[in-house]
Amino acid sequence: MKDNDLPTVGFIGLGDQGLPMAIAIADAGYPMHAWGRRPDSLAALSDVCHVGHEDLTDFAAACDIVGLCVSTDDDVSGLVTGGLADHLRPGSVIVNHGTGTPKTAKDLAAFCADRRVEFLDAPVSGARAGAEARTLTTLVGGPAAVVKHCESVFRSFSAHVLHLGPHGAGQLAKLINNTLLMMNRANVADVIELLTAGGIDPIPFVEAAKLGSGSSRALQLLPTRSPADFGATVAHLTEVELLDMDIFATAMTDLGIDAAPTTARAVSGARRLGDVLHALNPRPCTTPDDVVTAALAGIGLTGTVIARGVED
């Protein structure tokens, strides 16, 4: 890459969140390359100027920065250690935008360093709606110089880019964010249960609390009086949030921290999502899937699904 050229950016993981991120990067003028395990997944970029690859080796050789938005740490590790890092040019950067453990981020950074390739953990918060609006928050761990090199790419889809510290710091920040959301939801659930036990309709009081000093993001994001029947979608989201808490618990164990009470509180918030939505939206009806998805995106609940349910 010449000093005055934009870096060539590769992207793997064109799912609900990854696709609008990749489109934003291309729209910002960066040369875009893409690879997928299923070549037909690249059709999602048909309206975007890009180069599609069937071979991971050829893809890696063409890129200066590669963004990954795939489901799990195992998926990320499989790509990085399965040929991606080995075929990138020295000085290239791999960026993991998915949620995982700080330990995996550090291990992959060490693997890449042995091949003279840089690595950043840069999970994002804001769900698909934030990706489409290009207002995500990107939480980055890794060397400051590498973060600076990639920052303009991140800003193509982000309203906020925060460098939290060394490798693993971005993942730790994302896990803390997820955990706080679920813990705060547990507080909301507690208050709703108290009001309901007293025969009091919780909806007007929740709506009032949203305007007061007792509000929280978890409260602000909850819809009230929605006609949507969240049903099976909420069951799936709860399952995914519980998986997030498994990652958090693993991360805390890796750090030698006893986080059992915190984990239990957050798990309570995850398990009570359906109860909270039912209490605040007591008149469900049969609603098309796209309407339910829009409602859930509005409360920030699709972000976790995106982190797990991407396609590549």
Hey, where are the domains in the chain? 9-165, 173-308
The per-residue pLDDT for 35 is: 97
Task: Kindly state the percentage of the chain with pLDDT values over 90.
Answer: 80
Q: 208 versus 312: which is more confidently predicted?
A: 208
The per-residue pLDDT for 221 is: 87
CATH 1.10.3470 for domain 173-308: no
Q: Given pLDDT bands bounded at 50, 70 and 90, which one contains residue 307? A: very low
* SS3 label, residue 50: coil
Q: Is the pLDDT of residue 6 over 70?
A: yes
CATH superfamily of 9-165: NAD(P)-binding Rossmann-like Domain (3.40.50.720)
Q: Is the pLDDT of residue 200 over 50?
A: yes
Q: Give the sign of the dihedral formed by CA 263, CA 171, CA 104, CA 99.
A: positive
Enumerate helices (H) and strands (E) in the chain, giving the number of each: 15, 9
* 129-139 per-position pLDDT tens digit: 999 999 999 99
The answer to which of 135-149, 168-182, 186-200, 227-241 has the lowest mean pLDDT is 227-241
The per-residue pLDDT for 296 is: 57
Residue 263: how many CB atoms within 10 A of its CB? 18
Distance CA 56, CA 77 (A): 14
Q: What amino acid occupies position 166?
A: P
Q: Is the pLDDT of residue 197 over 90?
A: yes
Q: Is the pLDDT of residue 82 over 60?
A: yes
Range 218-245 average pLDDT? 88
And the tokens for 169? Answer: 């710091």
**What's the mean pLDDT when you consider all of the chain?**
91
Beta strand ranges found along the chain (DSSP E): 9-12, 32-35, 51-53, 65-68, 93-96, 118-121, 124-125, 136-141, 158-165
Range 51-62 average pLDDT? 96
Distance CA 222, CA 207 (A): 10
pTM above 0.95, yes or no: no
The answer to which of 181-185, 210-214, 219-223 has the lowest mean pLDDT is 219-223
Distance CA 141, CA 175 (A): 13
Q: 265 versus 307: which is more confidently predicted?
A: 265
Contacts with 290 (C-beta within 8 Å, 6 or more apart), sequence order: none
Contacts with 287 (C-beta within 8 Å, 6 or more apart), sequence order: 227, 228, 229
Q: Is the pLDDT of residue 305 over 80?
A: no
* 272-284 per-position pLDDT tens digit: 999 999 999 986 5
The answer to which of 78-82, 225-229, 286-290, 306-310 has the lowest mean pLDDT is 306-310
